[in-house]
Structure 1
Amino acid sequence: MLNCIILRYKHWLFDIYAFVLGARMKILAVDDEPFILELLTIVAAQSGFTDISTALSGKIALDMLREGDAVFDCLLLDIRMPNMNGIDLCALVRAIPGYEKTPIIMLTAMAEKNFIHRAFRAGATDYVNKPFDMVELHSRLRMVENLVLARNNSALIDARVDALLSDTLGQHAFDLSDEVQIEGVKDLIGYTALKNYLTQLSRAGIAGSQVVAIKIDQIEELYARASSEEFLYALTETADAISDALKIYDQMMAYAGNGTFVVVLGKATLEPSVGLESEIQNWLDDRDIEYDDGNALDIGISIGNPIRPNVSMTQRVRKTFDRAIARAEARVLKKQGEPRPPSIGLVAR
Structure 2
Amino acid sequence: MLMQSTTGPYGMMIFTAVLLVVFYIQAFKKHYRMPYLLSAVTSGALGTTIRGLAVLSNDSTFEIFTNVMFFFFLSLTIVFFFFFIESCSSLKPNIPQVILIISLFIIGQAFNFLRFLLFLDDEILNIFLVMTLAFYGLLGIIGYGIFGIRFYLGNYKLTREKMPIFLTIGMVIALITYSLICITSLVYWGYPTGLIGDVVPILSTLFIAVFSLSYVFNIDYVYRLPYDYYGIMVYVTAGLQIFKADLESRRDVTIETNLISGFLTAFNSLFAEALSAKDSVENISSKDSFILIKTGDYVSVVVVGEIISAKLNNAVFEFLDSVENEYHEELENFNGEITGFSGIEKLIPKCFPFFKIKRVE
- What is the TM-score when the length of structure 1 is the normalising length? 0.23
- Kindly name which structure, 1 or 2, has the bigger radius of gyration based on alpha carbons: 2
- What is the TM-score when the length of structure 2 is the normalising length? 0.23
More helix by share: 2
Larger relative contact order, structure 1 or 2 (CA cutoff 8 Å, min sep 6): 2
